[in-house]
Amino acid sequence: MKVKQAKEAAQQWVLEEGSKTPGFSGAYLHGSANWLTDDASILATSDTDVMVVLAGVEPPIKPGKFHYKGVLLEVSYIARAALDSPETVLGSLHLAGGFRTRSVILDPSGELTALQEVVSREYARRSWVRTRCERAADAARSAGRALHEAVPLHDQATMAVFAAGLTTFVLLAAGLKNPTVRKRYVAAREVLAEYGRLDFQEPLLELLGCATMERVRVEHHLDGVTAAFDAASRVTIKTPYRFASDISNAARPISIEGSRELIERGLHREAVFWLAATYGRCRTIFAADAPELLPRFDPSYRELLADLGIDSFEDRRLRCEAVVAFLPRVWEVAEEIMAANPDIED
């Protein structure tokens, strides 16, 4: 399927379904669809992101992933107040990418269109690029602050993994690249190669804890994640969870087959981030609505954490501290990329 067809399906869903959401104020495309040409192909391991803008401060839990007209959509809600000004959007790594191109699907008030026009014009200004890099670095610094022994194991591990993973966003921001979630380490590798700093990929993977992990070991962990995923996707979810749709039959091609595809491409180490994230989400579902499954999957989860070097609370605390200590090195490379990036405007 081509990107154009996916966009048309997203538009149709917004017109027929999304626009009926209470408080609906508009909708726009987000994610990879805004970074690809209309004639590019959408892989089976990708979805099409749609942001539905709602009046009010606290949007409900997102619908998440589901199939519509043969397209896997990922629908999220965002409060209109979060898009209150071009400056707010331009300073946000995640929001800015949604408005850098013509992405508005439906805009009853015309405000989203006006916002998009300003953001697309100012997106590549050096001052805004630097702001987004700085805020990505700040997010990495603060990611581990909620780490506490009273927090469930899967939440602790997720904090440590995401703290390390956020360092890639500093580089992607500097390169004016899509801050993709699942394939962030692949995207970081590409931008580093583009600017002659592929050597820095190794320190990034070392910080995550998988630089020396061999393909056979990653495949072993994928087997463990797959078993947990299949079990969690069959759990009747009673406890509201914002990532519940990521652990579902609809999402399996992304979380499981997408990881397998990276391994087969020789990017097994870059696949580890999403394996850890996915296993953590499975364990969240087990803990909330199927605690009897925790003993069954705890050994393989612990095995993954041990291989990442974050099996104990002290390990996880030290990893979060290591992220903070590593950020100056990330910033140096980001500065190099910004200085050499021909698309950044003064």
- Phi-psi bin for 309: left (phi > 0), alpha (psi -120 to 50), beta? left
Whether pTM > 0.85 for this model: the answer is yes
- What class is the 3-122 domain? alpha beta
Judged against a pLDDT cut of 90, whether residue 44 lies above it is answered with no
pLDDT at 204 over 70: yes
Backbone angles phi, psi at 299, to 5 degrees: -60, -45
Q: What is the 3-state secondary structure (H, E, C) of the chain?
A: CEHHHHHHHHHHHHHHCHHHCCCEEEEEEEHHHHCCCCCCECCCCCCEEEEEEECCCCCCCCCEEEEECCEEEEEEEEEHHHHCCHHHHHCCHHHHCCCCCCCEEECCCCHHHHHHHHHHHHCCEHHHHHHHHHHHHHHHHHCCCCCCCCCCHHHHHHHHHHHHHCHHHHHHHHCCCCCCCCCHHHHHHHHHHHCCCHHHHHHHHHHHCCCCCCHHHHHHHHHHHHHHHHHHHCCCCCCCCCCHHHCCCCCHHHHHHHHHHHHHCCCHHHHHHHHHHHHHHHHHHHHHHCHHHHHHHHHHHHHHHHHHCCCCHHHHHHHHHHHHHHHHHHHHHHHHHHHHCCCCEC
pLDDT in tens, 305-330: 999 999 999 999 999 999 999 999 99
pLDDT at residue 46 in the model: 86
For residue 33, the model assigns a pLDDT of 87
Domain ranges of the chain: 3-122, 127-332
Residue-wise pLDDT for 257-305, tens only, equals 999 999 999 999 999 999 999 999 999 999 999 999 999 999 999 999 9
Q: Is the pLDDT of residue 115 over 70?
A: yes
- The reported pLDDT for the residue numbered 255 is 93
The per-residue pLDDT for 57 is 67
More confident residue, 58 or 122: 122
Determine the pLDDT at residue 60.
87
Tens of pLDDT, residue by residue over 50-100, are 999 999 868 888 999 999 999 999 999 999 999 999 999 999 999 999 999
